[in-house]
Structure 1
Amino acid sequence: MKRGLVLTGVLLATFLAAIEGTVIGPAGPTIVSELGSVSLLSWIFTAYLLTMAVTTPIFGKLSDLFGRKPIFLIGCSLFVVGSLLCMLAGSMEQLILYRAIQGIGAGGVIPVTFTIIGDIYKMEERGKVQGMISSVWGISSLVGPLLGGYVVTYFGWEWIFGFNVPFGLLAMFFIARYLREQVSKRTARIDVAGAVTFTIGMTALLLVLALGGQYIDWASPELLALAAVAILFLVLFLVIEKRAQEPMVPLKLFRIRDIAFSCAAALLVSTLLIGLTSYLPLWIQGVHGGDAASSGLALAPMSVGWLFGSMIGGRILLTLGSRRTSLIGLTLIVLGAFVMTLMDLTAPIWLLFLSTLLYGLGFGFSMTVFTIIAQSSVGFQLRGASTALNTFLRTLGQTIGVAAFGSWLNYRIAAQTADGQLTQQGVTQEDINGLLAPHASQSLSDKVAGLLRSVLENSLHSLFVIMVVIAVISWFVVLGLRNRPPGTEEEADQRIKAPQREHA
């Protein structure tokens, strides 16, 4: 097997994922202004994240049973098809559906790319390789917002999804042609019951989070019934997993200290990532009156910071250990979140760039550690499930973040407009949508535009304060990591058999 060419395929798939995650951010307000109301903005992200979250553990376990290559190729094919369909979407409902198809494909691609690295590189090499992968993520994340912003401004939002297609096809070619793996034949049965109960339970739970407070009242019979379905099927899932011969999500992974704490931290940090990429463009375009290209430029320092943070974090992990390296990252994230709360209409632009740079550096340090822990804390037979679990919790964090932040933002906007001040000025929902579209916003009077910007500014500022609180909680969570580098495969098998021997 030619590791360099396999790595090329993995890097291309990483580029695919990074472009998808960053291009859509600056395009969000423009899409909403053309296809739907601002209240539907979160669904562009939620549909993708929900299906990705549900399918990630399933694909991860299937890759342990049937090999990484077939699962990668299936996932990548679905992702490319979903991207093509998104380009053709003519309504918000269609776009949401096609984003869901993209999410299913991403559930097979993203965790398997990380698992492949764990398979073909030793522990001593993974820090350097993960830094390389994060470098591609950083470069593509830098290109994504800038290029995507200009494409949206001058060609239309439909074309941002076209970036995924060539990189997806190239990644499929390299993995199909050069990845050689020996998958031992195993007689274990697929955990169908676990997959079904998990899919129903998690889908119901994520729909409760996405719909509650925005589209359906929290105390409504429909939402309470959906919550009951989520609880019932998730409890059944836990019971089934304890008895299954090959559980889809091996619960014994949580007995490993580093995995337990890194998963909790990854979930929290991911809410901050989606909050930044989803709602900073809303601040730029709605409050400051910029365009999609300006939003991409504002996110560029985060991409650069992520690039350098991941490279440095991967190199110092073996000397400083998991806890210290993660604490460096979370400290930078806390600082970035605090600086974000200092922004207002009069704040200098360098303050915004400083905040996103600090965020990016922190993400680079911490996410690299979490990924290597997932790969290096278990042996080959559980590496796919462990990596998928880490990826799933990141996606779950983003899904919860989009839903919770969207509910909070809509609540704050409604609270500030409840006194009728805006309606007395003749302001409609279309005017609020128009604030996000440069051409439409020109038709608003200065007084009305000023009122709308003030409402949006206050709502987003309260959201940035919440992100500070989440960042501080994440800082305390990583204190639970062991203060040493992730172990080798030999140590991993011992941890599964004797988790009580784990010490700080």
Structure 2
Amino acid sequence: MLITGLIIAMLFGALDQTIVGTAMPRIVGDLGGLAYMTWLTTAYMLTSTTVVPIAGKLADLLGRRVVYISGLALFMIGSALCGTAQTMDQLIIFRGFQGIGGGIMMPMAMVIIGDLFTGAERAKWQGVFGAIFGLSSIIGPQIGGWIVDALSWRWVFYINLPIALIAIAFIALGLAGHERHERVQFDILGILTLIVGVVSLLLAFTFGGKDAPWTSWKILGLFALTVIALAAFVWAEARAKEPILPLRLFRSRIFVLINGVGFLMSVGMFGSIMFIPLFLQGIAGISPSASGTAMTPMMLTVMLGSIVGGRLVTKVGVRTQTVAGMLIMATSFYLLTHLSVHTASWVVTVYMIILGLGLGLVMPLLTIALQESFPKTELGVVTSSSQFFRQIGGTFGMTILGAVLNARSSAQLTDALGPFLKQAGNNPTVAHIQSMITTNAQGLYSSLLSPSALAQMPAAIRRAVVPVLKSTLVDSLHSVFLIGMLFVLLGVICALFLGRIHISNSRAPRAKPVAE
């Protein structure tokens, strides 16, 4: 009963993110606010990422049942509010509220799996749960399209309500008796300083280089606030009786290395995957739906790798499998640095299949290794830390590699198109291209490699500009994938120092952290 509830909750929580992406055009058409569309994702990301480590600690203090059901209830209420939104501002606020519930839900399934099973059993189950995330990426856009076409975008959120009620019922019954009743001292100062620090950091990454220059007072102020808040967080954690993220965990070599691998893996993974559709649509010339189809085999191999990896780790060990998976990922990035304007989309799909296999082998291991290295009294906080550092790594990767693409492409476009643009005179299209080169090269690629934008461009300018755009885009993406590969190779180095992590077959709780 409990496993059924966990699968239902994890599947609909993961599906929500891909389904909402499909519904965004209809949402904007109904509510307006095109300029704020990305905030539907950003608001959810800010709140869900920030609450993950808090949820993990609360699960250790209060018990799994009350925390998990609270997260499901908040997610359900947030979904209902999103469905009733009348303006884009309301929807953004409600998505942030929904993200609080999502951030509580995300680590809890893995925490409970850690409670229920031995290390060897846990590896198999976490492989299955990793496959669920892959499955949601495949079927989510299709489900979202069906819901929007048959009903309305509001049902993208309303559909969560009956599913959440079913999950709550199964989990409430399955976790009966899993509460803690002793008096708890909450680390209020730690919670507040962590929220301020993480939100400021994520906002700086979100706005930096796009909405404001990296050297502007807004971005520098956000980074300064991040440093001050996180310094206050460290001070608070050193004095708290029940710290949200105990500083002594960072004295553990395994804790630092495993979370380092997760961070570096996510930098490469999220930061690079987001640019593959740009190549498929802009260079290979396939449609957005076809580019999504081209990515599907990668998600299938993530699922396969997660399931196989969960069974293989007991035979080859955590360190060996982590190193192998990260090297497979690095191989994929290396192959991606050899893309050209003539590369067929099926070749890109093969490279992404290799990437998916590496990801599938590594992702379930990170949580297992942490859970096997710490006592069950700290299972919540160490499990949520893995999710937290991976999400921060993904945000960091998208920002850094996006900046690399913009800087590299701007320099190349200036060199390649400068003489032509000077000769073309004062044509409004030319003036627009000149301004985009220096301010938003990614936007230039996105706009000029769309059929409508190309149709509006004078033929002479189109013949001169488009080939240059394609060649410089490919060269710039080579830099992105190379940097992504370097981050993954840093993860390989971290994994080499892991040492031997024993995957137990015993149900006896670990009494203390592993010796370091």
Q: 1:300 aligns with which of 296, 301, 323?
A: 296
- Once residues 411 and 149 of structure 2 are traced to their aligned partners in structure 1, the CA distance between those partners, rounded to angstroms, is 32
Aligned CA distance change for structure 1 residues 281 and 83 (closer, same or farther; 3 Å): farther
Render the CA deviation track for 1:104-129: whole Å, top value 9, x for unaligned: 22210010111111112222321221
Shift of 1:412: 3.9
- Once residues 216 and 261 of structure 1 are traced to their aligned partners in structure 2, the CA distance between those partners, rounded to angstroms, is 34
Render the CA deviation track for 1:379-403: whole Å, top value 9, x for unaligned: 2221111111111111111121222
Q: Does 1:425 align with 2:465?
A: no
2:69 alignment counterpart? 73
Aligned CA distance change for structure 1 residues 87 and 291 (closer, same or farther; 3 Å): farther
- Once residues 432 and 330 of structure 1 are traced to their aligned partners in structure 2, the CA distance between those partners, rounded to angstroms, is 31
SS in 2 for 1:425: helix
- Once residues 203 and 345 of structure 1 are traced to their aligned partners in structure 2, the CA distance between those partners, rounded to angstroms, is 39
Q: Does 1:126 align with 2:122?
A: yes
Render the CA deviation track for 1:54-93: whole Å, top value 9, x for unaligned: 1111111111122222222232233345456666778876
- Once residues 342 and 168 of structure 1 are traced to their aligned partners in structure 2, the CA distance between those partners, rounded to angstroms, is 45
Which amino acid letter does the alignment assign opposite residue 367 of structure 1?
Answer: M
Q: Does 1:317 align with 2:313?
A: yes
Q: Does 1:464 align with 2:481?
A: yes
Highest CA radius of gyration, 1 or 2?
Answer: 2
Moved more, 253-262 or 382-391: 253-262
Q: In 1, are the aligned partners of 2:55 and 2:67 still within 8 Å (CA)?
A: yes
SS in 2 for 1:209: helix
Shift of 1:440: 5.7
- Once residues 154 and 430 of structure 2 are traced to their aligned partners in structure 1, the CA distance between those partners, rounded to angstroms, is 35
Aligned CA distance change for structure 1 residues 340 and 413 (closer, same or farther; 3 Å): same
Q: 1:18 aligns with which of 14, 18, 23?
A: 14
- Once residues 368 and 286 of structure 1 are traced to their aligned partners in structure 2, the CA distance between those partners, rounded to angstroms, is 34
Q: Does 1:280 align with 2:297?
A: no
1:384 alignment counterpart? 380
Q: 1:334 aligns with which of 327, 330, 340?
A: 330
- Once residues 431 and 318 of structure 1 are traced to their aligned partners in structure 2, the CA distance between those partners, rounded to angstroms, is 49
Which amino acid letter does the alignment assign opposite residue 477 of structure 1?
Answer: C
Q: Does 1:171 align with 2:176?
A: no
- Once residues 21 and 441 of structure 1 are traced to their aligned partners in structure 2, the CA distance between those partners, rounded to angstroms, is 31
Shift of 1:191: 0.4
- Once residues 162 and 285 of structure 2 are traced to their aligned partners in structure 1, the CA distance between those partners, rounded to angstroms, is 33
- Once residues 287 and 242 of structure 1 are traced to their aligned partners in structure 2, the CA distance between those partners, rounded to angstroms, is 53
Moved more, 94-103 or 70-79: 94-103
Shift of 1:361: 1.1
Aligned CA distance change for structure 1 residues 284 and 209 (closer, same or farther; 3 Å): same
Q: In 2, are the aligned partners of 1:46 and 1:399 still within 8 Å (CA)?
A: no
- Once residues 229 and 32 of structure 1 are traced to their aligned partners in structure 2, the CA distance between those partners, rounded to angstroms, is 33
SS in 2 for 1:188: coil
Q: In 1, are the aligned partners of 2:341 and 2:470 still within 8 Å (CA)?
A: no
Q: Does 1:182 align with 2:178?
A: yes
Identical columns (%): 33
- Once residues 285 and 323 of structure 2 are traced to their aligned partners in structure 1, the CA distance between those partners, rounded to angstroms, is 36
Aligned CA distance change for structure 1 residues 299 and 442 (closer, same or farther; 3 Å): same
SS in 2 for 1:493: coil
2:51 alignment counterpart? 55
2:340 alignment counterpart? 344
Q: Does 1:356 align with 2:373?
A: no
Aligned CA distance change for structure 1 residues 449 and 115 (closer, same or farther; 3 Å): same
2:424 alignment counterpart? none
Render the CA deviation track for 1:418-468: whole Å, top value 9, x for unaligned: 566666636466976545765565545553555554554444333222211
Counterparts of residues 77-156 of structure 1 (less than 5 Å):
77-83=73-79, 96-145=92-141
- Once residues 90 and 409 of structure 1 are traced to their aligned partners in structure 2, the CA distance between those partners, rounded to angstroms, is 37
Shift of 1:327: 1.3
- Once residues 451 and 157 of structure 2 are traced to their aligned partners in structure 1, the CA distance between those partners, rounded to angstroms, is 22
1:477 alignment counterpart? 494
Shift of 1:263: 0.7
Q: In 2, are the aligned partners of 1:26 and 1:296 still within 8 Å (CA)?
A: no
1:494 alignment counterpart? 512
2:198 alignment counterpart? 202
- Once residues 20 and 290 of structure 1 are traced to their aligned partners in structure 2, the CA distance between those partners, rounded to angstroms, is 26
Aligned CA distance change for structure 1 residues 227 and 431 (closer, same or farther; 3 Å): closer
Aligned CA distance change for structure 1 residues 292 and 162 (closer, same or farther; 3 Å): farther
2:439 alignment counterpart? none
Question: What is the root-mean-square deviation in Å for CA atoms of aligned residues?
Answer: 3.5
Shift of 1:294: 1.6
Q: In 1, are the aligned partners of 2:117 and 2:507 still within 8 Å (CA)?
A: no
Render the CA deviation track for 1:181-206: whole Å, top value 9, x for unaligned: 33232323100010011111222222
1:224 alignment counterpart? 220
Moved more, 300-309 or 214-223: 214-223
2:240 alignment counterpart? 244
Aligned CA distance change for structure 1 residues 403 and 322 (closer, same or farther; 3 Å): same
Render the CA deviation track for 1:322-354: whole Å, top value 9, x for unaligned: 101111211111111112222233112232111
2:262 alignment counterpart? 266
Which amino acid letter does the alignment assign opposite residue 511 of structure 2?
Answer: D
Aligned CA distance change for structure 1 residues 356 and 238 (closer, same or farther; 3 Å): same
Q: In 2, are the aligned partners of 1:145 and 1:293 still within 8 Å (CA)?
A: no
1:396 alignment counterpart? 392
1:375 alignment counterpart? 371
Q: In 2, are the aligned partners of 1:326 and 1:365 still within 8 Å (CA)?
A: yes
Aligned CA distance change for structure 1 residues 226 and 332 (closer, same or farther; 3 Å): same
Which amino acid letter does the alignment assign opposite residue 118 of structure 1?
Answer: G
- Once residues 165 and 290 of structure 1 are traced to their aligned partners in structure 2, the CA distance between those partners, rounded to angstroms, is 36
Task: Please list every run of 5 or more consecutive structure 1 residues that lacks an aligned counterpart in the other structure.
Answer: none
Shift of 1:167: 4.1
Which amino acid letter does the alignment assign opposite residue 482 of structure 1?
Answer: G
Q: In 2, are the aligned partners of 1:73 and 1:176 still within 8 Å (CA)?
A: yes
2:285 alignment counterpart? 289
Render the CA deviation track for 1:240-275: whole Å, top value 9, x for unaligned: 112211111122223333222111101111122322
TM-score (norm 1): 0.85
